[in-house]
Protein backbone atom coordinates (compact mmCIF):
# COMPACT_ATOMS: atom_id res chain seq x y z
CA UNK A 1 0.00 0.00 0.00
CA UNK A 2 0.92 3.63 -0.54
CA UNK A 3 0.50 5.31 2.88
CA UNK A 4 0.87 9.06 3.47
CA UNK A 5 1.30 10.45 6.99
CA UNK A 6 0.10 13.98 7.77
CA UNK A 7 0.88 15.67 11.06
CA UNK A 8 3.18 17.82 13.15
CA UNK A 9 6.62 17.23 14.72
CA UNK A 10 5.48 13.89 16.15
CA UNK A 11 4.99 12.66 12.58
CA UNK A 12 8.10 14.40 11.31
CA UNK A 13 10.08 12.73 14.12
CA UNK A 14 12.11 15.73 15.35
CA UNK A 15 12.79 16.32 18.20
CA UNK A 16 12.85 12.93 19.82
CA UNK A 17 12.56 9.54 18.15
CA UNK A 18 10.61 8.97 14.93
CA UNK A 19 7.86 6.38 15.19
CA UNK A 20 7.78 6.30 11.37
CA UNK A 21 11.38 5.11 11.17
CA UNK A 22 10.41 2.25 13.48
CA UNK A 23 7.26 1.55 11.49
CA UNK A 24 8.97 1.26 8.11
CA UNK A 25 10.70 -2.10 8.75
CA UNK A 26 7.42 -3.40 10.23
CA UNK A 27 5.70 -2.74 6.88
CA UNK A 28 8.38 -3.61 4.28
CA UNK A 29 5.78 -4.24 1.58
CA UNK A 30 4.33 -0.72 1.87
CA UNK A 31 5.51 2.71 0.75
CA UNK A 32 5.38 5.21 3.63
CA UNK A 33 5.53 8.96 2.91
CA UNK A 34 6.20 11.40 5.76
CA UNK A 35 4.47 14.79 5.39
CA UNK A 36 4.84 15.87 9.01
CA UNK A 37 5.76 19.47 9.74
CA UNK A 38 6.90 20.77 13.11
CA UNK A 39 4.48 23.08 14.89
CA UNK A 40 1.42 22.38 12.75
CA UNK A 41 -1.94 22.99 14.35
CA UNK A 42 -5.21 21.76 12.89
CA UNK A 43 -5.62 25.14 11.15
CA UNK A 44 -2.14 25.28 9.58
CA UNK A 45 -2.24 21.61 8.62
CA UNK A 46 -5.57 22.10 6.89
CA UNK A 47 -4.13 25.00 4.91
CA UNK A 48 -1.11 22.89 3.95
CA UNK A 49 -3.15 19.84 2.98
CA UNK A 50 -5.55 21.96 0.93
CA UNK A 51 -2.68 22.90 -1.39
CA UNK A 52 -2.46 20.47 -4.26
CA UNK A 53 1.25 19.76 -3.85
CA UNK A 54 0.60 18.22 -0.41
CA UNK A 55 -2.50 16.26 -1.44
CA UNK A 56 -1.06 13.05 -2.80
CA UNK A 57 -3.14 10.14 -3.97
CA UNK A 58 -2.79 7.19 -1.59
CA UNK A 59 -4.33 3.92 -0.50
CA UNK A 60 -4.30 5.17 3.09
CA UNK A 61 -3.78 8.54 4.78
CA UNK A 62 -2.83 8.77 8.47
CA UNK A 63 -3.76 12.02 10.23
CA UNK A 64 -2.21 12.83 13.62
CA UNK A 65 -2.69 16.43 14.73
CA UNK A 66 -4.01 18.36 17.72
CA UNK A 67 -1.29 18.55 20.35
CA UNK A 68 -0.06 21.98 19.19
CA UNK A 69 -3.54 23.44 19.51
CA UNK A 70 -3.16 22.87 23.26
CA UNK A 71 0.62 23.22 23.59
CA UNK A 72 0.25 26.79 22.31
CA UNK A 73 -1.43 27.65 25.63
CA UNK A 74 1.30 26.24 27.90
CA UNK A 75 3.49 29.36 27.88
CA UNK A 76 3.82 32.78 26.29
CA UNK A 77 6.76 31.58 24.22
CA UNK A 78 4.59 28.89 22.62
CA UNK A 79 1.83 31.42 21.94
CA UNK A 80 4.31 33.85 20.36
CA UNK A 81 5.88 31.13 18.22
CA UNK A 82 2.51 30.09 16.81
CA UNK A 83 1.90 33.69 15.75
CA UNK A 84 5.38 34.11 14.23
CA UNK A 85 5.17 30.81 12.32
CA UNK A 86 1.68 31.45 10.97
CA UNK A 87 0.35 28.35 12.72
CA UNK A 88 -2.72 29.60 14.62
CA UNK A 89 -4.36 27.27 17.09
CA UNK A 90 -8.04 26.44 17.06
CA UNK A 91 -9.68 28.82 19.54
CA UNK A 92 -12.20 26.30 20.84
CA UNK A 93 -13.69 22.87 20.19
CA UNK A 94 -16.10 24.26 17.62
CA UNK A 95 -13.27 25.70 15.51
CA UNK A 96 -11.18 22.55 16.00
CA UNK A 97 -14.05 20.41 14.76
CA UNK A 98 -14.56 22.70 11.76
CA UNK A 99 -10.92 22.59 10.60
CA UNK A 100 -10.47 18.92 11.38
CA UNK A 101 -13.55 18.14 9.31
CA UNK A 102 -12.26 20.27 6.44
CA UNK A 103 -8.95 18.43 6.55
CA UNK A 104 -10.71 15.07 6.38
CA UNK A 105 -12.77 16.24 3.43
CA UNK A 106 -9.57 17.12 1.57
CA UNK A 107 -7.98 13.77 2.39
CA UNK A 108 -11.11 11.80 1.49
CA UNK A 109 -10.78 13.08 -2.07
CA UNK A 110 -7.25 11.68 -2.41
CA UNK A 111 -7.13 8.58 -0.17
CA UNK A 112 -9.08 5.32 -0.26
CA UNK A 113 -9.17 5.20 3.55
CA UNK A 114 -8.03 7.37 6.46
CA UNK A 115 -6.70 6.60 9.94
CA UNK A 116 -7.26 9.40 12.43
CA UNK A 117 -5.06 9.31 15.54
CA UNK A 118 -5.83 10.86 18.92
CA UNK A 119 -3.49 13.51 20.34
CA UNK A 120 -1.25 11.91 22.95
CA UNK A 121 0.32 13.97 25.75
CA UNK A 122 1.50 17.29 27.10
CA UNK A 123 3.40 16.04 30.12
CA UNK A 124 3.06 12.49 31.34
CA UNK A 125 0.82 13.47 34.24
CA UNK A 126 -2.45 12.62 32.51
CA UNK A 127 -4.47 14.54 35.12
CA UNK A 128 -2.99 17.95 34.23
CA UNK A 129 -5.25 20.53 32.52
CA UNK A 130 -3.53 20.24 29.13
CA UNK A 131 -4.05 16.50 28.96
CA UNK A 132 -7.68 16.89 29.99
CA UNK A 133 -8.03 19.27 27.06
CA UNK A 134 -6.35 16.78 24.71
CA UNK A 135 -8.85 14.13 25.78
CA UNK A 136 -11.63 16.50 24.68
CA UNK A 137 -9.94 16.89 21.29
CA UNK A 138 -9.62 13.11 21.04
CA UNK A 139 -13.33 12.66 21.65
CA UNK A 140 -14.05 15.31 19.01
CA UNK A 141 -11.86 13.44 16.52
CA UNK A 142 -13.56 10.16 17.40
CA UNK A 143 -16.98 11.72 16.80
CA UNK A 144 -16.00 13.20 13.43
CA UNK A 145 -14.35 9.94 12.34
CA UNK A 146 -17.42 7.87 13.12
CA UNK A 147 -19.57 10.15 11.00
CA UNK A 148 -17.59 9.56 7.79
CA UNK A 149 -17.27 6.45 5.62
CA UNK A 150 -13.76 5.12 5.22
CA UNK A 151 -12.40 6.94 8.29
CA UNK A 152 -11.08 4.85 11.18
CA UNK A 153 -10.07 6.15 14.61
CA UNK A 154 -7.01 5.07 16.64
CA UNK A 155 -7.17 5.90 20.36
CA UNK A 156 -3.53 6.00 21.41
CA UNK A 157 -4.45 6.40 25.07
CA UNK A 158 -6.18 3.02 25.03
CA UNK A 159 -3.40 1.47 22.95
CA UNK A 160 -0.64 2.68 25.27
CA UNK A 161 -2.58 2.37 28.56
CA UNK A 162 -1.26 -1.05 29.71
CA UNK A 163 1.39 -0.37 32.34
CA UNK A 164 0.79 3.38 32.62
CA UNK A 165 -1.01 3.24 35.96
CA UNK A 166 1.97 1.59 37.62
CA UNK A 167 4.42 4.32 36.54
CA UNK A 168 5.17 7.41 38.59
CA UNK A 169 4.17 10.46 36.56
CA UNK A 170 6.67 13.28 36.12
CA UNK A 171 5.26 16.81 36.08
CA UNK A 172 7.77 17.93 33.41
CA UNK A 173 6.16 20.00 30.64
CA UNK A 174 8.04 21.66 27.72
CA UNK A 175 7.38 25.34 28.44
CA UNK A 176 10.42 26.72 26.56
CA UNK A 177 10.39 26.74 22.76
CA UNK A 178 14.10 27.56 22.82
CA UNK A 179 14.84 24.35 24.69
CA UNK A 180 12.74 22.36 22.22
CA UNK A 181 14.67 23.92 19.33
CA UNK A 182 18.03 23.16 20.93
CA UNK A 183 17.05 19.57 21.61
CA UNK A 184 15.98 19.25 17.97
CA UNK A 185 19.52 20.19 17.00
CA UNK A 186 21.60 18.37 19.59
CA UNK A 187 19.63 15.33 20.78
CA UNK A 188 19.72 13.32 17.58
CA UNK A 189 20.67 9.84 18.77
CA UNK A 190 18.32 7.47 20.57
CA UNK A 191 20.82 7.23 23.43
CA UNK A 192 20.92 11.00 24.02
CA UNK A 193 17.12 11.29 23.79
CA UNK A 194 16.56 8.44 26.23
CA UNK A 195 19.15 9.76 28.69
CA UNK A 196 17.43 13.16 28.80
CA UNK A 197 14.02 11.53 29.21
CA UNK A 198 15.34 9.49 32.12
CA UNK A 199 16.75 12.58 33.84
CA UNK A 200 13.30 14.14 33.66
CA UNK A 201 11.57 11.05 35.01
CA UNK A 202 9.71 10.50 31.73
CA UNK A 203 8.78 7.06 30.44
CA UNK A 204 7.52 7.39 26.84
CA UNK A 205 8.48 10.94 25.89
CA UNK A 206 11.57 13.12 25.71
CA UNK A 207 9.88 16.22 27.10
CA UNK A 208 6.25 15.34 27.77
CA UNK A 209 5.28 15.68 24.10
CA UNK A 210 7.89 14.26 21.71
CA UNK A 211 8.60 10.55 21.81
CA UNK A 212 11.55 8.69 23.27
CA UNK A 213 12.48 5.19 22.08
CA UNK A 214 9.86 3.42 24.19
CA UNK A 215 7.11 5.82 23.11
CA UNK A 216 8.06 5.62 19.43
CA UNK A 217 8.05 1.81 19.54
CA UNK A 218 4.61 1.70 21.16
CA UNK A 219 3.10 4.26 18.78
CA UNK A 220 4.59 2.42 15.78
CA UNK A 221 3.10 -0.88 16.97
CA UNK A 222 -0.32 0.73 17.55
CA UNK A 223 -0.33 2.25 14.06
CA UNK A 224 0.85 -1.02 12.52
CA UNK A 225 -2.00 -2.93 14.17
CA UNK A 226 -4.48 -0.40 12.82
CA UNK A 227 -3.02 -0.59 9.31
CA UNK A 228 -3.00 -4.38 9.35
CA UNK A 229 -6.66 -4.44 10.38
CA UNK A 230 -7.52 -2.37 7.29
CA UNK A 231 -5.35 -4.24 4.80
CA UNK A 232 -7.81 -6.99 3.85
CA UNK A 233 -10.91 -4.73 3.59
CA UNK A 234 -8.97 -2.22 1.46
CA UNK A 235 -7.67 -4.94 -0.84
CA UNK A 236 -11.19 -6.32 -1.32
CA UNK A 237 -12.55 -2.85 -2.02
CA UNK A 238 -9.89 -2.26 -4.67
CA UNK A 239 -10.64 -5.63 -6.27
CA UNK A 240 -14.34 -4.74 -6.35
CA UNK A 241 -13.53 -1.43 -8.06
CA UNK A 242 -11.41 -3.26 -10.64
CA UNK A 243 -14.23 -5.71 -11.36
CA UNK A 244 -16.68 -2.81 -11.66
**What does the alpha-carbon distance between residue 206 and residue 38 come to, in Å, rounded to a whole number?**
15
- Please report, to the nearest 10 degrees, the dihedral formed by the alpha carbons of residues 160, 121, 208, 159 taken in order: 10
- Specify the CATH number for the domain of residue 53: 3.40.50.1110
What are the backbone angles phi and psi of residue 208, rounded to the nearest 5°? Answer: 100, -15
pTM of the predicted model as reported, rounded to 2 decimal places: 0.94
- What ranges make up the beta strands (E) of the chain? 2-7, 31-36, 58-64, 111-117, 151-154
Q: Give me the number of domains the chain comprises.
A: 1
CA atoms within 13 A on the CB side of 58: 25
Secondary structure (3-state) at 217: helix
**What does the alpha-carbon distance between residue 55 and residue 118 come to, in Å, rounded to a whole number?**
21
Per-residue pLDDT of the chain (244 residues; tens, 9 = 90+): 999 999 999 999 999 999 999 999 999 999 999 999 999 999 999 999 998 655 567 999 999 999 999 999 999 999 999 999 999 999 999 999 999 999 999 999 889 999 999 999 999 999 999 999 999 999 999 999 999 999 999 999 988 877 776 678 899 999 999 999 999 999 999 999 999 999 999 999 999 999 999 999 999 999 999 999 998 777 666 556 555 5
Note the pLDDT of residue 54.
53
| Boundaries of domain holding 95 | 2-243
**What does the alpha-carbon distance between residue 68 and residue 41 come to, in Å, rounded to a whole number?**
5
Contact of 119 with 66, CB cutoff 8 Å: yes
Amino acid sequence: MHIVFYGDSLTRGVPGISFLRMLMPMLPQDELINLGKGGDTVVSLYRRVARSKDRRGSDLAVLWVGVNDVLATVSRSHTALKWLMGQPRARDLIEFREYYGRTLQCLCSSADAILTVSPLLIGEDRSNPWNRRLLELGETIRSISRSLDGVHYVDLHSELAPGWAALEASDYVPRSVTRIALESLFLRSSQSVDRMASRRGLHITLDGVHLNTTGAERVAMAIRRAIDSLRAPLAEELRSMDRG
